[in-house]
């Protein structure tokens, strides 16, 4: 893992635990095994760490989401299964990022906030297109609301520590697919 990736991962955990404003550059450097000022070799500011963290996860969600839809070959139920599988996997692996995105959104620099918003709109629309393919009567706003509701369900992972990850994966996947009116396939 690169030093930059280590800083981003450590920052996500610290920001999730203490909030963006509760973590100093010195705290972040110490947690990474470097001095606070050495952090500036990798990022120009703490704001830049937050920006890269949230922009890069939004880019990843969209890129992999597009891949999942392409692999489905025009089958909206298969595409939604792929999207749900991807988003559940992401949510279980990146609980801290979900907390940071939710809680520290206002701390994101304006240009990064606009970039994240654009990426997130594209991700929502990717889901909404598949939802509408399953239910052509549903309007775009309804399909977007359906996608957001599914995200809310899946992104509840930081607050649901009652089950281990594999059991939680099954619960979240089944619930999200049913919420999207996608038949749940049993092995």
pLDDT at 37: 84
What's the average pLDDT block by block, 10 residues per block, for the chain (187 residues)? 90 96 94 89 94 96 98 97 97 93 94 97 98 95 96 84 87 93 76
pLDDT of res. 166: 92
Among the listed residues 69, 60, 118, the one whose alpha carbon sits nearest the alpha carbon of residue 89: 60
DSSP state at residue 44 = S
Determine the Cα–Cα distance for residues 89 and 68; give it in Å rounded to an integer.
13
pTM confidence score: 0.92
What is the predicted pLDDT for the residue at 187?
A: 62
DSSP states of 51-80: HHHHHHHHHHHHHHHHHHHHHTTT-HHHHH
C-alpha–C-alpha distance, residues 63 and 51, integer Å: 18
Q: Which domains does the chain have, with CATH numbers?
A: 45-180 (1.10.357.10)
Q: Which two tokens stand for residue 158?
A: 């930081």
Nearest to 38 by CA among 51, 28, 48, 23: 28
């Amino acid at each position: 893992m690169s030093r930059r990736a280590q800083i981003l991962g450590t920052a996500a955990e610290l920001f999730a635990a203490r909030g963006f404003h509760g973590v100093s550059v010195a705290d972040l450097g110490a947690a990474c095994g470097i001095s606070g000022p050495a952090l500036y070799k990798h990022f120009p500011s703490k704001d830049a760490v937050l920006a890269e963290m949230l922009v890069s996860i939004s880019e990843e969600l969209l890129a992999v989401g597009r891949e999942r839809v392409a692999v489905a070959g025009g089958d909206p139920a298969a595409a939604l299964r792929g999207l749900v599988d991807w988003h559940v996997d992401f949510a279980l692996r990146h609980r801290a990022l979900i907390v940071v995105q939710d809680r520290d959104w206002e701390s994101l620099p304006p240009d990064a906030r606009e970039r994240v918003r654009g990426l997130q709109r594209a991700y929502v629309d990717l889901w909404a297109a598949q939802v509408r393919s399953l239910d052509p009567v549903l309007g775009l706003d309804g399909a977007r609301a359906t996608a957001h509701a599914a995200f809310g369900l899946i992104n509840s992972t930081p607050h649901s520590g009652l089950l281990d990850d594999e059991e939680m994966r099954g619960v979240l996947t089944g619930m999200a697919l049913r919420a999207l009116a996608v038949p749940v396939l049993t092995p």
